[in-house]
Amino acid sequence: MELRHLRYFVTVVEEQSITKAAEKLCIAQPPLSRQIQKLEEELGILLFERGSRPVRTTDAGQFFYQHAVQILTHTAQATSMAKRISSINMIIRIGYVSSLLYALLPQIIYLFRHNNPDIQVELIEYGTKDQIEALKLGKIDLGFGRLRISDPAIKRILLRKEKLKLAIHKNHHLTEYVHIGIYLSQIIDESIFSYPATQKPNFSTLIQSIFTELGLVPKNMIEVREIHMALGLVSSGEGVCIIPESASDIGMKNLVYIPILDMEAYSPISLAVRNMDQSPYLSKVLECVKQVFEEEGIAFQFEGYQGNTA
């Protein structure tokens, strides 16, 4: 059995479809089906229930899946650790969601580079969900994201909860709330632009879930491709949009920003790493986060982190 067979099997289980798995793996469907069949023959067990749509694992298949994920994760970890140990110029690959570029990510990375001149930093943009996959495959060593996604192979450290703001045109009828703040229940009749229009879950899902948590149903949510589009439409006098506080620095003309007062209205900023990762980089990165938070007067939480940041 080769590792790629385990990867094929895990992808089929996660996508619950041979077609989608084949697309994701960039191979044709018939060879993928054949490889799965060969794997079943080699193991002498049925991994999937015959004829099930979406594809469902048997009990034995589910057991095998959990162990296959562990094997792949351990292999990725071992490879990435071994590469790191063998390289003189060390590289750390950091996944990030693009909206964090408006938050404190640039300051944190700048500080990390300054404090660790021997370590090369490679920044790679990935949605929070894709970061999980990238971590498991060893494509990145850590990932900064905004969603509450959990996965048994990944440890997530909550760094802080960023407040949300409502972006409106400076002549909008809600401007009277700019200094006092507003509750989401006050905007359900507005046209609200949400973003991005990428694979879910994403920031748009987070906003939806906050409304749901508050028992609110906005009348008109319109999904657009990305934050600049949402702000541009608001700036042209159409609707409103909810953004992380830091994105108000984007500086689009004629916009003003209202603090959202609901406790539930925040975007978690977290750091994800492979569960067993003992990398010394983690504490070095967290030290930089801590230092930047101190400079900015932000209380650090680091929920889920057991190590030390000096």
Question: Helix or strand or coil: residue 66?
Answer: helix
Q: Which residue is nearest to ligand BEZ (CB)?
A: 103
> Which of 22, 108, 184, 255 is in the footprint of ligand BEZ by CB under 6 A?
108
Q: Does 6 bind ligand BEZ (CB under 6 A)?
A: no
Least gap, CB of 98 to ligand BEZ (angstroms): 11
Least gap, CB of 122 to ligand BEZ (angstroms): 16
> Which of 8, 9, 126, 144 is in the footprint of ligand BEZ by CB under 6 A?
144
Q: Does 105 bind ligand BEZ (CB under 6 A)?
A: yes
Give the separation between CA 244 and CA 240, rounded to whole angstroms. 14
Tokens representing residue 138 in the block: 């060893």
In sequence order, what are the residues at sequence separation of 6 or more whose Cβ sits closer than 8 angstroms to the Cβ of residue 67?
none
Q: Does 147 bind ligand BEZ (CB under 6 A)?
A: no
Give the separation between CA 229 and CA 77, rounded to whole angstroms. 39
| Nearer CB in complex with ligand BEZ: 100/147 | 100
- CA distances, 93 to each of 21, 143, 164, 215 (Å): 26, 9, 29, 40
Q: Which of residues 54-73 bind ligand BEZ (CB under 6 A)?
A: none
Tokens representing residue 241 in the block: 């949009």
Q: Residues 242, 224: contact at Cβ < 8 Å?
A: no
Q: Does 39 bind ligand BEZ (CB under 6 A)?
A: no
Nearest to 307 by CA among 189, 155, 181, 161: 155
Least gap, CB of 226 to ligand BEZ (angstroms): 18
Q: Does 93 bind ligand BEZ (CB under 6 A)?
A: no
Tokens representing residue 122 in the block: 């490679």
> Which of 76, 100, 111, 142 is in the footprint of ligand BEZ by CB under 6 A?
100
Q: Does 282 bind ligand BEZ (CB under 6 A)?
A: no
The DSSP call for residue 176 is: G
Q: Does 92 bind ligand BEZ (CB under 6 A)?
A: no
CA angle 160, 163, 165 (to 5 degrees): 155
| Nearer CB in complex with ligand BEZ: 12/247 | 247
Enumerate binding residues for ligand BEZ (CB under 6 A): 100, 103-105, 108, 144, 159-160, 269, 289
